[in-house]
Amino acid sequence: MTDTATVPSDPREHEALWRALGTVQDPEIRRPITELDMVESARVDDAGVAHVGILLTIVGCPAANAIEAAVRAAASGVEGVGAVELTVGVMTPAQRQALTERLRGDRGTREMPFGPGTLTRVFAVTSGKGGVGKSTITANLAAAFAARGLRVGIVDADVHGFSIPGLLGVGENAPEAVRPTRLDNMILPPVAHGIKLISIGMFLDDPRAAVAWRGPMLHRTINQFLTDVYFGDLDVLLLDLPPGTGDIAISIGQLLPNAEVVVVTTPQPAAAEVAERSGTLAVQTGQRIAGVIENMAGLVQPDGSVLDLFGSGGGALVAERLSTIAKRPVPVLASVPLSVELRTGGDAGVPVVIADPESSASRAILSAADALLAGGRSLAGVKLGLSPR
């Protein structure tokens, strides 16, 4: 590695270089590399050459190329620097352990950070049955929150039917396989479109393989995603639940009783009856129903008329019934029309709220995101980390 004992000819050059390196963030942890002790040395010699030594978290770090390019760009921008010599090493086990302890902070080694005491808004997106576009809605809601400048994460809790990686462009059809980084017993999630995400599909050698797990294994997987994955400080965490009222929905109710539930349905009255059940389970487990999103609503024709391909009124019907069950008003957050752009965005891995924010589907989803944020939540019983003097 670079000789850290060499004293720069001008200390101001050294300080300027460190400030520049402080603008480089680890793409997975999303914090400056200078805060993570990933910069081993940094100096500028008399010839104007910046000598920088960085430490990657692990051998084969997937973010290595991005970090190296960012470091070179930052160092080259320092006044008086004409060239950059970069040396790359890997953290020792002791350094990695110190990093994981720093990231976990006061939480200890294996504590789930999104329980009732969290300041993170937790939304569990559910549906009564499959095929209603629940995962597409989840991915686009996350992108909408991120577009508002929020720190967002997604847990793909639909273990048997995972699809979030593909919808966000990091699935099996991505140019390069995207895998989480294991940092000792901590997992660093990939980032796509500004969203941190984790899915069982990222751990399978063959993403097309069936995941044939029963209740206890499913519970352990979701618990590990919530405990061992380092999301950092999130403003919003979304969980894409499997359809129905099975093991995972019950586990989420137990692990995250503070989660706010978003029920996705189609306009068809028969589908509304099924969707009602997922909301009923949320009430039974003590969760709050944040609202209903009606997907696949009327398709606008070239002449301006609307084709109600899947009927109409299902979203309002679900909201009305759940309002009675919850004994409080449950709103229809949005009615998302059938949209070719919404479908093609999912296939391409670019949410429609990013690819075409002015489309009718995007406007509906963005309005739903704003409604969820405006709803707020009570801080009663939440520990704010304050103590009297």
Taking only Cα atoms into account, the Rg of the chain, rounded to an integer number of angstroms, comes to 24
pLDDT at 210: 81
Distance CA(375)–CA(115), nearest Å, equals 19
Position 316 pLDDT exceeds 80: yes
Q: How confident is the model at residue 308, as a pLDDT?
A: 86
Q: What single DSSP character describes residue 31?
A: S
- What's the pLDDT at 274? 86
If one compares 107 and 69, the residue with the highest pLDDT of the two is 69
Average pLDDT of the chain is: 87
**Interval 378-389: pLDDT, tens:** 444 445 444 343
**Residue 102 has what DSSP assignment?**
H
Task: Calculate mean pLDDT across residues 263-275.
Answer: 88
- Tell me, what's the pLDDT at 379? 46
The pLDDT score that the predictor gives to residue 107 is 53
Contact 181, 91 (CB under 8 A): no
- Which residue from 15, 12, 49 is spatially nearest to 34, judged by alpha carbons? 15
- Which H, E and C letters describe 120-175, residue by residue? CEEEEEEECCCCCCHHHHHHHHHHHHHHCCCCEEEEECCCCCCCHHHHCCCCCCCC
What length is written for the chain?
389
> Stretch 253-267: mean pLDDT, rounded?
94
Closest of 62, 201, 185, 137 to residue 353, by C-alpha: 137
| pLDDT of 344 higher than 50 | yes
pLDDT of 7 strictly over 60: no
pLDDT in tens, 204-218: 887 777 887 888 889
Half-sphere exposure of 286 (CA within 13 A, CB side): 9
**Mean pLDDT value across residues 82-104:** 90
Tens-digit pLDDT profile for residues 223-237: 999 999 999 999 999
Rounded CA gap, 78 and 68, in Å? Answer: 16
pLDDT band at 8 (very low <50, low <70, confident <90, very high): very low
What is the structure's pLDDT at 179? 83
Going by pLDDT thresholds of 50, 70 and 90, the confidence category of residue 175 is low
Q: Which of 24-33, 262-271, 280-289, 356-365 has the highest mean pLDDT?
A: 356-365
Q: Which residues sit opposite 90 in a β-bridge?
A: 56
**What pLDDT is attached to residue 211?**
83
Categorize the per-residue pLDDT at 85 as very low, low, confident or very high, splitting at 50, 70 and 90: very high
Please report the pLDDT score of residue 205 as a whole number. Answer: 80
- What are 219-226's contacts with CB under 8 Å, separation 24+? 219/247, 219/248, 219/251, 221/159, 222/155, 222/157, 222/159, 222/248, 222/251, 222/252, 222/255, 223/112, 223/251, 223/255, 225/155, 225/157, 225/198, 226/112, 226/113, 226/114, 226/155, 226/255, 226/256
Q: What is the DSSP string of 219-242?
A: HHHHHHHHHHB---S-SEEEEEPP
State residue 244's pLDDT score: 85
Could you write out the DSSP letters of every residue in 271-336? HHHHHHHHHHHHHHTT-EEEEEEEEEEPEEPTTS-EE-TT-S-HHHHHHHHHHHHHTS---EEEEE
Tokens, residue 204: 């399978």
The pLDDT, as a whole number, for residue 23 is 94
For 10-56, how does the pLDDT look when each residue is reduced to its tens digit (9 = 90+)?
A: 444 578 999 999 999 998 888 999 999 999 999 999 899 999 999 99
Give pLDDT, residue 176. 59
pLDDT bucket at 109, cuts 50 / 70 / 90:
low
Q: What pLDDT, on a 0 to 100 scale, did the predictor assign at position 317?
A: 93
User: Does residue 112 surpass a pLDDT of 90?
Assistant: no
Specify the DSSP class assigned to residue 80.
T
| 13 or 82, which is more confident | 82
Q: What is the pLDDT of residue 354?
A: 97
| CA-closest candidate to residue 127, choices 261, 253, 265, 251 | 265
DSSP state of 105: G
